């Protein structure tokens, strides 16, 4: 079981980054033809639904207020007759935890003047550059199962490194964690993320959802952004980041996926975190994303029909990962400092909790948690438990980077 779960979780964290980062050099060189530009304009008209109101932020991003029942999600063939759920029918009661850092409020992410009317949801507008990026995701051929560390494996994982803790002991109906916010500097080709994820099934049919923050110049242009990623078939034909394809049903009028996160933590200074949770509605089977107690939206159960996530997950993970082309040294993960430096210096995810099959929250026991470090010379993870301060369950993770070469098999 340990060997199998390590394969699945490693795939979960590496493939989502492979999709976004492996094509960095090629993307900068690619200029679409006139025919491709015409096709992209057609796609934009299909993706960007008519807006009742629009806003442009100080950093140039455009957000649209879309009729909640006409959003992109319902272009998915499995959601044609889907009825919008405005809120989950079941709400988890998480165990109170010690909080010694500052939570960013979900309503402070956008300027106060950005407020969508009743009956609409806020979404980030897709651009030509977004479509060029999506075109590259298809062209690089990462649309087949990722069998990692198996006989005959020809998948090149050079440049991918992770430091996480994972839970694979029993059924998981939800997870939560307070994810420390940092804004690591990376090059145009590099990616650095903090993530919380759930998954179910064998690699070839892996169903997973991951959420957290990401610094990825190709995907988000600048700084640290809220990100999500989902797949229902091992990254073969389903899934995408945020709302770059039909699937995720947005219900929030104030928290768009892909939004810039601020403020961020300062080394030896004020620490900021965001409170995220994923949970499955016990009545509908939908998977809800909650930010700071506010319902952002959900992935309908129908997206995962035939996969394990319909009946819950069996794997959960918290921590970080980075990517860099194999010819470059790997970038900073988290704060850029090792876990041994502790609070105020190393990145963390605290308040780690899980929902069981009955929808009841519990704090995972020490023996159910495993630590994974692919490149311990550059990045480490440290699981914090009862006798460690200041939290009952947490993970410190990260490191300065500087690795080159094949992903370690540790």
Q: Give percent of the chain with pLDDT exceeding 70.
A: 85
What would the two tokens of residue 91 be? 């709400």
Average pLDDT, the chain: 84
- What is the rounded CA–CA span in Å between residue 13 and residue 214? 13
Mean pLDDT of 228-256: 89
pLDDT for residue 136: 53
pLDDT for residue 82: 93
- Sorting pLDDT into bands at 50, 70 and 90, what band is 108? confident
Q: Return the HEC string of 66-91.
A: EEHHHCHHHHCHHHCCCCCCCCCCCC
Phi, psi (deg, nearest 5) at residue 348: -150, 160
Answer yes or no: is pLDDT of 342 > 80.
yes
Tokens 């991918």 correspond to: 160
What would the pLDDT profile of 360-377 be if each residue is shown by its tens digit?
999 999 999 999 898 999
Answer yes or no: is pLDDT of 6 > 60.
no
Residue 80 and residue 130 in contact, taking contact as beta carbons nearer than 8 Å = no
pTM surpassing 0.85?
yes
pLDDT for residue 281: 96
- Sorting pLDDT into bands at 50, 70 and 90, what band is 405? low
Mean pLDDT of 212-238: 87
Report the DSSP beta bridge partners of residue 180: 273
DSSP tally for the chain: helices H, then strands E = 5, 20
Q: What is the DSSP letter of 120?
A: E
Mean pLDDT of 182-207: 87
pLDDT for residue 158: 62
Weakest mean pLDDT among 145-149, 152-156, 172-176: 145-149
What would the pLDDT profile of 82-99 be if each residue is shown by its tens digit?
999 999 999 999 998 877
- What is the rounded CA–CA span in Å between residue 173 and residue 353? 11
Nearest to residue 61, comparing CAs of 255, 291, 263, 260? 260
Q: Which residue has the higher pLDDT, 181 or 108?
A: 181
């Amino acid at each position: 079981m340990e060997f199998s779960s390590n394969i699945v979780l490693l795939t979960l964290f590496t493939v989502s980054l492979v999709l976004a980062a492996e094509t960095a050099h090629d993307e900068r060189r690619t200029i679409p033809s006139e025919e491709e530009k015409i096709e992209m304009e057609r796609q934009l008209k299909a993706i960007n639904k008519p807006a009742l109101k629009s806003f442009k932020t100080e950093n140039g991003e455009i957000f649209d207020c879309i009729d909640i029942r006409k959003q992109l999600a319902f272009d998915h063939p499995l959601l044609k007759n889907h009825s919008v759920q405005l809120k989950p029918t079941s709400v988890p009661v998480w165990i109170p935890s010690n909080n010694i850092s500052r939570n960013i409020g979900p309503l402070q992410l956008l300027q106060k003047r950005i407020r969508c009317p009743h009956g609409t949801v806020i979404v980030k507008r897709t651009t030509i550059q977004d479509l060029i990026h999506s075109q590259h995701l298809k062209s690089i051929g990462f649309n087949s199962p990722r069998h990692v560390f198996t006989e005959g494996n020809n998948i090149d994982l050079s440049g991918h490194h992770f430091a996480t803790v994972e839970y694979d002991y029993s059924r998981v109906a939800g997870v939560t964690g307070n994810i420390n916010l940092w804004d690591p500097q990376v090059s145009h080709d590099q990616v650095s993320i903090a993530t919380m994820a759930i998954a179910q099934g064998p690699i070839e049919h892996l169903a997973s959802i991951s959420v957290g923050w990401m610094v990825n110049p190709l995907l988000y242009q600048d700084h640290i952004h809220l990100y999500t990623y989902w797949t229902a078939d091992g990254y073969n034909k389903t899934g995408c980041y945020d709302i770059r394809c039909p699937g995720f049903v947005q219900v929030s009028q104030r928290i768009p996926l892909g939004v810039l996160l601020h403020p961020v933590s300062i080394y030896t200074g004020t620490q900021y975190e965001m409170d995220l949770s994923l949970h499955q509605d016990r009545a509908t089977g939908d998977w809800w994303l909650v930010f700071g107690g506010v319902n952002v939206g959900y992935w309908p159960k129908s997206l995962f029909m035939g996969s394990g996530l319909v009946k819950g997950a069996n794997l959960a993970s918290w921590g970080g990962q980075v990517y860099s082309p194999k010819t470059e040294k790997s970038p900073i993960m988290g704060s850029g400092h090792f876990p041994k430096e502790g609070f105020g210096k190393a990145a963390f995810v605290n308040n780690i909790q899980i929902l069981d099959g009955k929808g009841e929250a519990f704090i995972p026991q020490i023996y159910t948690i495993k630590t994974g470090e692919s490149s311990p010379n550059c990045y480490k993870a440290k699981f914090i438990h009862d006798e460690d301060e200041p939290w009952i369950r947490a993970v410190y993770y990260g490191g300065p980077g500087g690795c080159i070469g094949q992903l370690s098999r540790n």
